[in-house]
A and B are shown apart, each in its own frame.
Chain A
Amino acid sequence: GESVGLHLPTLSVQEGDNSIINCAYSNSASDYFIWYKQESGKGPQFIIDIRSNMDKRQGQRVTVLLNKTVKHLSLQIAATQPGDSAVYFCAENRAGNMLTFGGGTRLMVKP
């Protein structure tokens, strides 16, 4: 069936380096994607979103890239900090905010 998935379950980076988290989706009709950050014991926190009419969107220290040709999303975090340590999920909004989440990537930031 349709699904959203991630390539890397765990990513370890040095503090100050840039992080890249990847996500593949399979529903070519999807037109809205969201990245969430989830810290231990908390709910998902919205980071950034992108619509299919764009291929790049930037926020504060984060950038999302969308490649519709290969159905691939990535989240780039600049100058990664210890506070960025969390699990990151991409999600596909199939309709009306009924999101399909990927399995998550754990980001560990080494001091």
Chain B
Amino acid sequence: NAGVMQNPRHLVRRRGQEARLRCSPMKGHSHVYWYRQLPEEGLKFMVYLQKENIIDESGMPKERFSAEFPKEGPSILRIQQVVRGDSAAYFCASSPRGGDSPLHFGNGTRLTVT
């Protein structure tokens, strides 16, 4: 009865490198959400995906960031050419349906850019 699984838990990248964050939703959940959290702040919505579709990416920076949720496999949040300001905790959440059903969050990936 696994929850939302994210890996890696910690990721260190040098400026200019690429970061790939993975998220496997709970079994039976087809809606995936990515949020970013800076230290001592609340989470900020980034992107909402269903299988093979981006539903809403209004919270995602226009450049360097992309997300996918393929038919098979985990959802991937990709950050190209990372900068120090990308250092944060990135949380994935899933739900069985969109709308008003509680989100289940993973334990996040903590990205540090050196």
If A97-B31, A97-B48, A97-B95 touch, whether A46 touches B103 (CB-CB below 8 Å) is yes
- The residue on B at minimum CB distance from A48 is B102
Is B42 within 8 A of A101, CB to CB?
Answer: yes
Q: Contact: A93 with B100, CB < 8 Å?
A: yes
B42, B91, B103, B108: residue with the most chain A Cβ atoms closer than 10 Å: B42
Query: In the complex the two chains form, is A97's CB within 8 Å of B43's CB?
Result: no
Cβ of A97 and Cβ of B33 under 8 Å apart? Answer: yes
A103 adjacent to B99 (CB under 8 Å): no
B66 on the interface (CB 8 Å rule)?
A: no
A14 to B100, CA, bound (A): 35
Q: Interface of A with B (CB < 8 Å)? A: 32, 34, 36, 41-46, 49, 51, 89, 91, 93, 96-104
Interface residues of B (CB under 8 A from A): 4, 31, 33, 35, 40-45, 48, 55-56, 58-59, 91, 93, 95, 98-108
List 14 A–B pairs whose Cβ atoms lie within 8 Å, in order of A's numbering: A42-B107, A44-B43, A45-B105, A46-B102, A96-B98, A96-B99, A97-B99, A97-B101, A97-B103, A98-B45, A98-B56, A99-B35, A101-B42, A101-B43
